[in-house]
Amino acid sequence: MKTDRAIEEIMMGMVREKAMEIYSEALIEHGVNPRNYGSMENPDGYAKVTGPCGDTVEMFVRMRNGTVEKATFNTDGCMFSIAACSAAAEMAEGKTLAGCIGINQSAILDHLEKMPADHEHCALLAAMTIQKALRQCIEDTGKIQ
């Protein structure tokens, strides 16, 4: 007799397999197991943006030696917003402020490989929010590093 946990694992495997037919593995992974989720104490850059869909995104950036040491986020949005924010934060880490200029909607969509057209605005919201947080770093330091 299978335990509840074993049955749950089988069912989740079936759901994941079906989802892989529709979405990319990268999108599912970022949406279900987001990187860098959460707030940050005393960030060097911070932004909060609410998109037209009603989702709100917060991005936090910490700089060290001219590069993004850590980027984190919070959102009340759906799995697609979570995935886009996770990708944006991951893409920023280890880059200079100038190197982060290319983190835009299309770069996030490329990073996630496959996003439903009706949720591509989630990548735009993530890009706008991280760029706004990065601009605060520039305003505070007075230069692009």
Taking the domains of the chain in order of start, what are their residue ranges?
Answer: 24-141
- Burial of 82: CB neighbours in 10 Å, binned 0-12, 13-18, 19+: buried
Q: Tell me the fold of 24-141.
A: Sufe protein. Chain: A (3.90.1010)
The model's pTM is 0.84
User: For 109-141, how does the pLDDT look when each residue is reduced to its tens digit (9 = 90+)?
Assistant: 999 998 899 999 999 999 999 999 999 988 876
Q: How far apart are CA 23 and CA 72, in angstroms?
A: 24
141 C-beta neighbours (distance < 10 Å), count: 14
CB within 8 Å of 29: residues ≥ 6 apart: none
User: For 13-57, how does the pLDDT look when each residue is reduced to its tens digit (9 = 90+)?
Assistant: 777 777 667 788 888 888 888 989 999 999 999 999 999 889 999
Q: How far apart are CA 1 and CA 126, in angstroms?
A: 45
Among 82, 87, 93, 79, CA closest to 105:
87
